[in-house]
Amino acid sequence: MAAPRKGSADARQLEEHLDELARLVDTAGAQVVGRLSQQLVAPNSATLIGKGKVQELKELCDAEQATLVVFDEELSPVQGANIEKALDLRVMDRAEVILDIFSTRARSHEAHLQVELAQLEYLLPRLTRMWTHLSRIRGGIGLRGPGETQLETDRRMIRQKIGRLKAKLKDVAKHRENIRSGRTPMMTIALVGYTNAGKSSLLRGLSGQHEIVVGDRLFSTLDTLTREVDLGEGYRARVTDTVGFIRKLPHHLVASFRATLEEARHADLLLHVIDASHAEFEQQMVVVEQVLAELELADRPVMPLFNKIDAVADPVAFVSRIRELYPESVVSTTVRTDGLESLKAALREHERARRPAVTVRVPVSDGARVAFLYRSGEVLHRQSANGRVEVRVRLSQDVVDRLRAEGVEVEG
Ligand SMILES: Nc1nc2c(ncn2[C@@H]2O[C@H](COP(=O)(O)OP(=O)(O)OP(=O)(O)O)[C@@H](O)[C@H]2O)c(=O)[nH]1
Ligand SMILES: [Mg+2]
């Protein structure tokens, strides 16, 4: 069921959005038996859609023997409860379906914690609705007192659980931070993008590790996974695959995935992977930019990567068009062996510009400074001659400036 505002962008893409919702529902394990939509001039605060439409929906459900109704729009707790009552069927909104998919897909401990937190936060304001059900089952009248007490107890328990989950996730984040600070400096890249764009395929192609899970379904990846990758010509990078985004990603879910996406926050570069063969790729790019902004990642350097170029009808025209629109962009395909060469070249170029290789010469006695070079840059080569150590190292410009200001000999 879709109920966009009349004249809105959502209304213009109604069919595409319903298609995507159908894919979500399918991923969650349900079968679609019918579709309905209504363009709203003003949403009904009690049931979102109009009274007549509720009736029509009921008839469709009866005719198709549906057991579940899914709305593409977010339903308020009250709207959800009212529609359930009118239809006498389970009603979910898009957010709930996504949460459901995530809960069955979560593999790692961290992903489990994150999904559980998001589910509880989603559930909290909707508890009354569940309670209505229970009271109806128990006979309703006369149970008001105990029911309300029960509701309060449930609420308190859920709040406590939310608190505990948040604390656990903070520990996980701290642990990650420790791992990060213990690493040698190397270029770090996070793959971000709409779900199904090919992020995991890219990490698989770049790292040559075939056990990385790729799937033609939504949300194949929920956990971040980091691999060291050889970019050629002596360049290496640490590349992280992340969870995919989708339009109307539940806010709670985005919030609880913050810890996982910390990797992206610390990345030197975000590689925004786009499915160039998707009819709606431009809208998908906008969604990704919005989620990045919500995660406060909008200020990170981004390189747009148009993937699946092999599946684009007229690649030559496509490339010339996007080069015009996004001069920084790169094109790739994971289905051809040479499909990642221009990406690797662009990443090498990016790294060259960000951290040029320089030669630093210090007295052999200055061990502290040599240690500093190892900490703040990527040491490529080191040799000693005539009482001096010569280190070839990739350093960012501000470190080079600082060394020069301290009187250290830096060349190149
Ligand atoms: N034609 C074509 N298909 C591709 C390409 N790259 C990936 N795919 C396919 O696209 C689908 C999704 O790929 P994934 O790598 O799982 O995508 P993802 O971005 O990691 O998706 P999520 O983890 O669900 O967010 C799979 O069926 C891949 O085989 C490509 O360059 N060309
Ligand atoms: Mg993936």
Residue % of the chain over a pLDDT of 70:
92
What letters, b where the CB count within 10 A reaches 16 and e where it falls short, cover 361-391? ebeeeeeebbebbeebbbbeeeeeeeeebbb
Tell whether ligand 1 has an atom less than 6 A from the beta carbon of residue 219.
yes
How many whole angstroms from 109 Cα to the centroid of ligand 2?
18
Which of 101, 196, 261 should be mutated for ligand 1, with most atoms under 8 A from CB? 196
Tell me which architecture the domain covering 184-353 has in CATH.
3-Layer(aba) Sandwich (3.40)
* Long-range CB contacts for residues 171-178, cutoff 8 Å, separation at least 24: 172/109, 172/110, 172/113, 172/259, 173/259, 173/262, 176/259, 176/262, 176/263, 177/262
Going by alpha carbons, the residue nearest to atom 8 of ligand 1 is: 198
Q: Are 93 and 80 in contact, with CB atoms under 8 Å apart? A: yes
Render pLDDT for 330-341 as a digit per residue (tens, 0 to 9). Answer: 999 999 989 999
Render pLDDT for 299-339 as a digit per residue (tens, 0 to 9). Answer: 889 999 999 999 999 999 999 999 999 999 999 999 998 99
Render pLDDT for 90-126 as a digit per residue (tens, 0 to 9). Answer: 899 998 888 888 888 887 888 888 888 888 888 888 8
Q: Are 350 and 269 in contact, with CB atoms under 8 Å apart? A: yes
> How big is the CA angle at 381 (ends 375 and 382), to the nearest 5 degrees?
80
Specify the higher pLDDT residue, 137 or 257: 257
Pair of tokens at residue 96? 């709930």
Specify the higher pLDDT residue, 273 or 13: 273
The amino acid at residue 365 is S
Nearest to 330 by CA among 183, 229, 231, 218: 231
Q: List Cβ neighbours of 186 (8 Å cut-off, separation of 6 or more).
A: 228, 236, 237, 238, 378
- Indicate the DSSP class of residue 74: P
Global model pTM greater than 0.85: no
Task: Count CB atoms within 10 A of the CB of residue 75.
Answer: 23
Residues in the chain, total = 412
Which ligand approaches the C-alpha of residue 305 most closely?
1
- Indicate the DSSP class of residue 338: T
For residue 39, what pLDDT is reported?
Answer: 93
Render pLDDT for 54-65 as a digit per residue (tens, 0 to 9). Answer: 999 999 999 999
Residues bordering ligand 2, an ion, CB closer than 5 Å: 199-200, 220-221
Interstrand relation of 330-331 and 302-307 (parallel, antiparallel or unpaired): parallel
Tell whether ligand 1 has an atom less than 6 A from the beta carbon of residue 224.
no
Q: Are 285 and 136 in contact, with CB atoms under 8 Å apart? A: no
Bridge partners, 190 (sequence order): 240, 270
Intrachain domains 184-353 and 355-411 with the same fold:
no
For residue 11, what pLDDT is reported?
Answer: 86
- Indicate the DSSP class of residue 124: G
Bridge partners, 381 (sequence order): 392
For residue 135, what pLDDT is reported?
Answer: 40
Residue % of the chain over a pLDDT of 90:
51
Tell whether ligand 1 has an atom less than 6 A from the beta carbon of residue 200.
yes
Task: Band the pLDDT of 147: cuts 50, 70, 90.
Answer: low
pLDDT exceeds 70 at position 6: yes
Pair of tokens at residue 44? 């009904």
Tell whether ligand 1 has an atom less than 6 A from the beta carbon of residue 82.
no
Pair of tokens at residue 350? 């990016």
**Which ligand 1 atom is the nearest neighbour of the CA of 334?**
31
CA distance linking residue 357 with residue 277, whole number of Å: 38
- How far is the CA of 155 from the CAs of 100, 124, 130, 150, 295, in angstroms? 21, 7, 12, 8, 28
Tokens 């200020």 correspond to: 299
Render pLDDT for 352-364 as a digit per residue (tens, 0 to 9). Answer: 888 888 999 999 9
For residue 331, what pLDDT is reported?
Answer: 97
Render pLDDT for 247-266 as a digit per residue (tens, 0 to 9). Answer: 988 877 887 777 667 778 88
Tell whether ligand 1 has an atom less than 6 A from the beta carbon of residue 226.
no
Tell whether ligand 1 has an atom less than 6 A from the beta carbon of residue 91.
no
Average of per-residue pLDDT across 129-140: 42
- How far is the CA of 144 from the CAs of 134, 135, 140, 141, 240, in angstroms? 11, 8, 7, 7, 52
CA distance linking residue 129 with residue 151, whole number of Å: 10
Query: What is the four-CA torsion angle of 22, 23, 24, 29, rounded to 10 degrees?
Result: 90
For residue 136, what pLDDT is reported?
Answer: 42
Write out the H or E segment, with its range, that includes residue 10: helix 9-12
Tell whether ligand 1 has an atom less than 6 A from the beta carbon of residue 337.
no
CA distance linking residue 73 with residue 363, whole number of Å: 67
pLDDT exceeds 60 at position 212: yes
CATH class held by domain 355-411: alpha beta
Q: List Cβ neighbours of 253 (8 Å cut-off, separation of 6 or more).
A: 95, 98, 99, 102, 114, 115, 118
Q: Are 266 and 180 in contact, with CB atoms under 8 Å apart? A: yes
Three-state DSSP at 151 gives helix
> How big is the CA angle at 72 (ends 68 and 78), to the nearest 5 degrees?
70
pLDDT exceeds 70 at position 144: no
For residue 201, what pLDDT is reported?
Answer: 95
Tell me which architecture the domain covering 9-103 has in CATH.
3-Layer(aba) Sandwich (3.40)
Tell whether ligand 1 has an atom less than 6 A from the beta carbon of residue 195.
yes
Which of 98, 201, 219 should be mutated for ligand 1, with most atoms under 8 A from CB? 201
**Which ligand 1 atom is the nearest neighbour of the CA of 307?**
31
What letters, b where the CB count within 10 A reaches 16 and e where it falls short, cover 140-151? eeeeeeebeeeb
CA distance linking residue 392 with residue 347, whole number of Å: 20
- Indicate the DSSP class of residue 140: S
Domain ranges of the chain: 9-103, 106-177, 184-353, 355-411
Specify the higher pLDDT residue, 335 or 225: 335
